[in-house]
Structure 1
Amino acid sequence: MTEPSRPSVRRPSRLATGLRRAVVGLTTLGLGAGLVLVGADAASAKPKHDHGAPGPASIALPIGFQPEGIAVKGTKVYSGSRATGDIYVADLRTGNGRVLSKGPGTPSLGLKVDGRRLWVAGGAAGDARVLDTRTGKVLASITLAQDVSTEKPSFVNDEVLAGRYVWFTDSVRPQLYRVDRRHPRRVTTVDLTGDWKQTAGTNANGIVRTPDGTALLVVKSDTGQLFRVDPRTGVATVVDLGGYALTAGDGLLLKGRTLYAVQNRLDKIAVVVLNQAGTRGELRRTITSPAFDVPSTVARAGKYLYLPNARFTATGEPATLAYSINRVKA
């Protein structure tokens, strides 16, 4: 918006100046953290800021980007497109961004930053990629699921860095994939057993380590169950959440003993406090925001959580929709 030209003769009175400052102050306070950028001009819109918080509260992604995964390293935020596999990187301080790496035409889902490398879950392609975070160059392409076809589908959805290995979930196969971080093409398939019952819906999704680091936690999206998985055997045990179900559970984030679980189609984050072993947990609160439009995954920087709006339920052609990454307080 162009500012009105200043009068050449009359100066504004103290009262007018005071009123103007009051209006600006009220407008700033009204912005808040929950802003969703919609419409065809969202990608070129100026980023909006939280009052008193650094950087934009909402970062516009390219029109039609269709984000799913997210990762944060320092002041950089990365998101992947489930449509093309493109990787987008933006600055948390300014909201300015660019396509870091052009995708292979298959999805880029869960993301994790590992030093100067970015691990990317490949969705229906049944694979993963490792990218250079500075140049976007593909450092390694990794086949995870074997014999992927319409009769034997795969959906590599998310991953977690755990010591020497990276663990990937598969939402349509009852198994995890263990990849050696130093030798990415060394892949081991671990079958999920024990309490795990594979169903026809979206099964294994978000994954983190237990607070004590001895096991893995995997959310099963269709039933809302959280499982503790022994990484040596694949034996899965249901975590006691006191009756709470993580229905539509998607991305997971662990901070100390606090688990942030995104419930995508419910437009909220469940905040669960776990015991050290990850066998029990208690829901403490949920986080919601007017900015949420089916958030999928979550990353953290300082006191804030960042989530991409996947907009699975939005009307209209996905290739023409606006998408954004939005910030809430942790």
Structure 2
Amino acid sequence: MPPTDRSFARRGFLAGTAALGGAALLGGTAHAAGQDSAPAAWPRRFPLPDGFQPEGITIGRAPFAYFGSMANGDIFRASLATGRGTVVAKGLGAGHASVGLRIDPRGRLFVSGGDSGEIRTVDVRTGRTEKVYATGGTFVNDVILTPGAAWFTESFQPVLYRLALDRHGRPGAVETVPLGGDWEQGPDFTANGIERTPDGSALLLVNAFANGGGLMRVDPRTGTARAVDLGPARLPNGDGLLLCGRILYAVQQWQNAIDVFRLNSAGTRGTAIARITDPRFRIPTTVAAWGNRLYLPNARFDVDPPQPDTEYDAVAVDRV
């Protein structure tokens, strides 16, 4: 998204985390949700509600995708098998967007509240908003779940928000973690998508400003950031991230593309191996996986201002 636009851009998702032993701090290597490939008959495009203004997506242990609304914070669930869906949780209204999303195995959704500065937890089984956390931030953007915490990016300040989780996954208190080291905070929109390194030892953050746009590797204990060596590749429009093993998918929203990297285990280096494009892309923002497919919502940020009858959809493409 343009650096002067304070509205919405962001993240990627993967639900279901497998813990590693040893020194891994943030859990083990991430894998695509779902053990089976998506049947060929499943739709590769399906509609979202008119005027919904989707941004985030998450998929849990069952073949259902959850989308957040930037218009009013509603949560929409769609079946990957049929493409049909419904609103399963009402938002808090205008000014309380649902941007980045992650769902845990218990059906609890962790929601980034965008420019409301909120973090919210939602029980998608009942549709109830469990708790609202006021971070005091400017734009809470994306989220990733680890065994001990949910980590949220802040796009206009050099910090992360850490929501502590107990051993049963229950949320506790929110802590602000300052970013240092190589982190460069731009004059406007900077941090976006977030993931873990393949070995689970650190976090990966999109920094849309530093060195023309790229990835930062952040030590969760100290907040110290180091630039990830991606060679000549840049992520000036980097949004959602998705890690599958050592393959990292980075959505470049305004470029209507997904750039694909092979990372080393520690996440200090990455090699560009592919670019996925599709004529159905209309400024996709985030990405989630089921089996052999990637699913993305089309945010259509080029429609300004969006209208109540603006049409939105989600599309599926094959994984690399």
TM-score by length of 2: 0.83
Which residue identity lines up with residue 289 of structure 2 in the other structure? R
> Are residues 1:96 and 2:96 paired?
no
Shift in Å at residue 224 of structure 1? Answer: 1.6
Deviations 1:254-312 (A, max 9, x none): 01100000000000000000000000000000001111000000000000000000000
Partners of 1:142 and 1:185 within 8 A in 2: no
SS at match of 2:216: strand
Q: Determine which of 232, 236, 244 is the counterpart of 1:247.
A: 236
Partners of 1:261 and 1:270 within 8 A in 2: yes
Higher relative contact order (CA 8 A, sep 6+): 2
> Are residues 1:107 and 2:101 paired?
no
Q: Give the distance between the partners of 1:201 and 1:112, measured in 2 at CA.
A: 25
Partners of 2:89 and 2:124 within 8 A in 1: no
Task: Provide the residue aligned with 1:120 in structure 2.
Answer: 111
> Are residues 1:54 and 2:45 paired?
no
Q: Determine which of 139, 145, 153 is the counterpart of 2:130.
A: 139
Task: Provide the residue aligned with 1:324 in structure 2.
Answer: 313
Q: Give the distance between the partners of 1:317 and 1:284, measured in 2 at CA.
A: 35
**Residues paired across the two proteins, number:** 273
Which residue identity lines up with residue 99 of structure 1 in the other structure? V
Task: Provide the residue aligned with 2:207 in structure 1.
Answer: 220
Q: Determine which of 258, 269, 281 is the counterpart of 2:258.
A: 269
TM-score by length of 1: 0.80
Q: Give the distance between the partners of 2:97 and 2:309, measured in 1 at CA.
A: 18
Deviations 1:31-68 (A, max 9, x none): xxxxxxxxxxxxxxxxxxxx971311111011010000
Q: Give the distance between the partners of 1:265 and 1:113, measured in 2 at CA.
A: 26
SS at match of 1:56: coil
> Are residues 1:129 and 2:98 paired?
no
Q: What value does the CA root-mean-square deviation take over the aligned residues?
A: 1.5
Shift in Å at residue 131 of structure 1? Answer: 1.0
Q: Give the distance between the partners of 2:151 and 2:305, measured in 1 at CA.
A: 35
Q: Give the distance between the partners of 2:189 and 2:307, measured in 1 at CA.
A: 21
Higher helix share: 1
Shift in Å at residue 201 of structure 1? Answer: 2.5
Mean Cα displacement is larger for which, 218-227 or 188-197? 218-227
Q: Give the distance between the partners of 1:82 and 1:293, measured in 2 at CA.
A: 16
Unpaired segments of 5 or more residues in structure 1?
Answer: 1-50, 149-153
Task: Provide the residue aligned with 2:157 in structure 1.
Answer: 173
Task: Provide the residue aligned with 2:267 in structure 1.
Answer: 278
Q: Give the distance between the partners of 2:294 and 2:108, measured in 1 at CA.
A: 22
Q: Give the distance between the partners of 2:134 and 2:306, measured in 1 at CA.
A: 31
Q: Give the distance between the partners of 1:93 and 1:185, measured in 2 at CA.
A: 35
% identical equivalent positions: 49
Partners of 1:178 and 1:188 within 8 A in 2: yes
Partners of 2:218 and 2:224 within 8 A in 1: yes
Deviations 1:47-105 (A, max 9, x none): xxxx9713111110110100000001211110001111111001111111111111112
Q: Give the distance between the partners of 1:123 and 1:185, measured in 2 at CA.
A: 21
Partners of 1:140 and 1:184 within 8 A in 2: no
Task: Decide which structure has the larger Cα Rg and report it.
Answer: 1
